[in-house]
């Protein structure tokens, strides 16, 4: 008999479960607020003009298909890390960042998780926000880390629970790993103000925590990559030695090409060499080396001025459309007759809004209106457009009146 008879079917995570439910609904007017993929107003996930141009240049360059080095394309690693830390950062002169190319943001998190699991004391807990992106817990647990949570969301106020967060960070064991979202917090859409970032940074410094930033939306949140990086760059100015995972899935629309990077700040050039060698050992035993295509394109966009200029236009357009759909939804809720306070929808930022809807309301939206969001009330703003926003607002009003 088969070796695998005893293997049971495992559960889908919350995000993927929403997609499966949506696919099964035959209603042609169904509204997809599940997936975290940017769509333009016509409902399509566009290839950004800057990437199209880079593709054309790459095609002319007659590039080969040789193996990529284990740690990725060196020029990509440099441009990605300059994008995160700022090209004028003294860290580059001092050679104090070890950077490797990864399989998008997920791959960066996983290589980072393997690294901390291997090189920090066994008992070091990893703290993730409550709530957070569904995959964070799985990534760190699979790497062998003990995962705990710190408070983030105040349900009653639909805002950041800054006091609860600071308290949890201060009560965490010395030298814990703290995973923070650089911007566009997923799923809540709630980012700290600069004042709040300063307090979070201070609390982590007091406890000597190892701060790990998941930087999956730089530029996509506000349209300005430096503004979106301001939170974690403050930590660097305060003397933190950060780990930063980067993704180019959202900000460059490179989802399926898996373009990302992991950066580990070190104390010296010598440490950088050592850390880099260890990251290579982890990568080599996982998938040997990353793919070339997407990283070549992103490298071109980040390093060629004309392409970079176009990218600024492209990313701003996405951020602006998301902001417009937030305000349009709130306006239409008012028009539909809702007397509830929906200001959190416009106060939040990034791909997702944490609507405040409960599971019962979410399920009613599915059954009565073919509107699909995650059971926790997270909705992807990217699924809203000028054609469905009025329908969506009426549906939400119906289930919340
Ligand atoms: N972190 C967060 C917070 C995310 O929302 C995502 C994408 N949903 C990722 C990381 C990773 O995405 P990818 O692996 O596609 O870069």
- Dist. CA 190–CA 194, nearest whole Å: 13
pLDDT in 10s for each residue of the chain, 401 residues: 999 999 999 988 888 888 999 999 999 999 999 989 999 999 999 999 999 999 999 999 999 999 999 999 999 999 999 999 999 999 999 999 999 999 999 999 999 999 999 999 999 999 999 999 999 999 999 999 999 999 999 999 889 999 999 999 999 999 999 999 999 999 999 999 999 999 999 999 999 999 999 999 999 999 999 999 999 999 999 999 999 999 999 999 999 999 999 999 999 999 999 999 999 999 999 999 999 999 999 999 999 999 999 999 999 999 999 999 999 999 999 999 999 999 999 999 999 999 999 999 999 999 999 999 999 999 999 999 999 999 999 999 999 99
**Helices (H) and strands (E) in the chain — how many of each?**
15, 13
Residue 150's nearest CA partner among 121, 181, 119 is 181
Q: In angstroms, what is the span from residue 202 Cα to ligand 1's centroid?
A: 27
Can you tell me the distance from the alpha carbon of 295 to that of 102, in angstroms, rounded to the nearest whole number?
A: 9
Report H helices in 86-151: 90-93, 104-119, 135-142
| Ligand 1 geometric centre to CA of 137 (Å) | 13
The residues that are catalytic are 133, 214, 250
What ligand 1 atom has the least distance to the C-alpha of 181? 3
- Give the helix ranges, DSSP H, for 145-262: 162-171, 194-206, 225-237
pLDDT in tens, 210-235: 999 999 999 999 999 999 999 999 99
pLDDT score recorded for residue 64 = 95
Pocket probe mutation, ligand 1, options 135, 188, 261, max atoms within 8 Å of Cβ: 135
Could you give the ipTM of this predicted complex? Answer: 0.99
Distance of CA 86 to the CA centre of its chain: 19
Residue nearest to atom 4 of ligand 1 (CA): 216
The residue among 352, 353, 379 whose CA lies nearest residue 366 is 379
Q: Which two tokens stand for residue 322?
A: 């998301």
CB atoms within 10 A of CB 240: 19
**H or E stretch at 332:** helix 305-336
Which residue from 327, 323, 324, 336 is spatially nearest to 393, judged by alpha carbons? 336
Rounded distance from Cα 172 to ligand 1 centre (Å): 25
Q: Structure pTM? A: 0.97
Distance 247 CA to ligand 1 centre (A): 7
Q: Which atom of ligand 1 is nearest to the CA of 132?
A: 3
- Which numbered atom of ligand 1 lies nearest the CA of 184? 3
Q: What is the DSSP letter of 381?
A: G
Residues within 6 Å of ligand 1 by CB: 36, 104-106, 133, 181, 186, 214, 216, 247, 249, 255, 260
């Amino acid at each position: 008999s088969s070796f695998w008879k005893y293997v049971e079917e495992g559960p889908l995570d919350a995000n993927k479960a929403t997609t499966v439910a949506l696919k099964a609904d035959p209603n042609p007017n169904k509204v997809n607020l599940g997936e975290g993929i940017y769509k333009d107003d016509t409902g399509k996930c566009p290839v950004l003009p800057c990437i199209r141009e880079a593709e054309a240049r790459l095609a002319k360059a007659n590039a080969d298909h040789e193996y990529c080095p284990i740690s990725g394309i060196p020029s990509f690693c440099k441009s990605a890390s300059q994008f995160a830390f700022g090209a004028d950062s003294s860290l580059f002169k001092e050679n104090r960042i070890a950077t490797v190319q990864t399989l998008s943001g997920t791959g960066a998190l996983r290589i980072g998780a393997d690294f901390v699991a291997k090189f920090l004391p066994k008992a070091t807990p990893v703290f993730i926000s409550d709530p957070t992106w569904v995959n964070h817990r799985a990534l760190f647990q699979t790497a062998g880390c003990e995962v705990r949570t710190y408070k983030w969301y105040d349900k009653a106020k639909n805002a950041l629970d800054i006091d609860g967060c600071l308290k949890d960070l201060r009560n965490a064991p010395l030298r814990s790993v703290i995973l923070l979202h650089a911007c566009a917090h997923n799923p809540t859409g709630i980012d700290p103000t600069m004042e709040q970032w300063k307090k979070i940074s201070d609390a982590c410094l007091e406890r000597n925590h190892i701060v790990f930033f998941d930087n999956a939306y730089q530029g996509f949140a506000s349209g300005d990559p430096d503004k979106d990086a301001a939170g974690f760059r403050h930590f660097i100015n305060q003397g933190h030695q950060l780990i930063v995972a980067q993704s180019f899935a959202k900000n460059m629309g490179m989802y399926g090409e898996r373009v990302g990077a992991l950066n580990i700040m070190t104390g010296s050039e010598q440490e950088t060499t050592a850390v880099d060698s260890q990251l290579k050992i982890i990568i080599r035993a996982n998938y040997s080396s990353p793919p070339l295509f997407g990283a070549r394109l992103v490298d071109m966009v980040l390093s060629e001025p004309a392409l970079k200029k176009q990218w600024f236009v492209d990313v701003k357009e996405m951020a602006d459309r998301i902001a417009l759909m937030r305000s349009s939804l709130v306006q239409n809720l008012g028009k539909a007759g809702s007397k509830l306070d929906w200001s959190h929808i416009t106060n939040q930022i990034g791909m997702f809004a944490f609507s405040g809807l409960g599971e019962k309301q979410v399920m009613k939206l599915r059954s009565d209106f073919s509107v699909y969001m995650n059971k926790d009330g997270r909705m992807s703003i990217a699924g809203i457009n000028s054609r469905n926003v009025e329908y969506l607002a009426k549906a939400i009003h119906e289930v919340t009146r």
